[in-house]
Structure 1
């Protein structure tokens, strides 16, 4: 625990774990104990920082009358001992402590505002729901299988495709996923490679302005194809 935690410890803004760690540090650090004492002395003077107000004549008369009406102190009564002089805080430390207090308070307000904004954002988020899933079958001459799941979340639709037992691509080859609408238009919905066992996966946020009829996976010569050039390996109707 570093000594800069002193201000937060004095303000009481540390959590239980950090407070306990700092108190352990405080027992071993003379400088921190002295600065903490000076900080307490500095803030103890705050109530006396206001300018003295002169009481009006009526108040003076009432106070003085009450004082002189009291019984005189007898010889056997002991006067209260004078309070011990307080150790004055180092003058150079006072502006630094005041600035640290201000920064600590500002940081706490900022963190609270950030937490409130995050909580509100989480509350606005909707849980993801499964809108449907299909099994993709291998076309003639190819092996493998895949499952495509359509997920609704926060007003958006996504497709998640998981494939296995595919042929492992060689060289620059890559698998690409395509969404096909009723007009035959094709949109690339992701590119993936497989591991040594022929397994691969990809996710894609689906455009919402088309009525998608089919999903297909092709083995492309490169990963940059904008339209399918290779053979269709897997396909299914949506």
Structure 2
């Protein structure tokens, strides 16, 4: 049990004492008006906490918090003033009889007794200040993902693009980043192929075409395989399903890298 029975008022208010402590504190409570007032205030505070209703946080709360997180300077921790040097106290007859030596000591005890009430009051103020909203804060954005390799190429500072169109309006754009040594092809509205055909991408090295990937459909984005930074050009052919090791048809598009 606590050496300061006044400190048990918070635990008593929320029924957190055992039978022995409760009996002892209730005997004290009958003689201490300060503790009775403190218990009443704590019980009122806990009753208000029970009225909180779980709701969805306001729309845009997370965005506003994250938008300002880089501009808010954390405050330094609160520290207590340096304690004054202790002065020896000469005992008096009053001290010997148990009379407090100064009002400072009794004030300190009152502060200790009021601390649980202040904590409870702060909790209530926080709940009421939020309009009774009790919700987990979405500080962690679990849906965010690092940029993909395709996104990195398209957003690279040295990215260069070349676009070609077919007579039927189909468009193919090749984007290459020499620094990342990656290239991306984006196709829109390519002519439909049979189930036995695919569009295959190629990188040209020393005049030889090297497989760089297969497009499954007539539109989409493909990260090329291989080494585009040392390639001379890129091309697209129509190949049997699954692709080929070497082109079996003439390229329907070529992208000379010296022009990209």
Q: Shared fold by TM > 0.5?
A: no
TM-score when normalising by structure 1: 0.41
Bigger share in strand: 1
TM-score when normalising by structure 2: 0.38
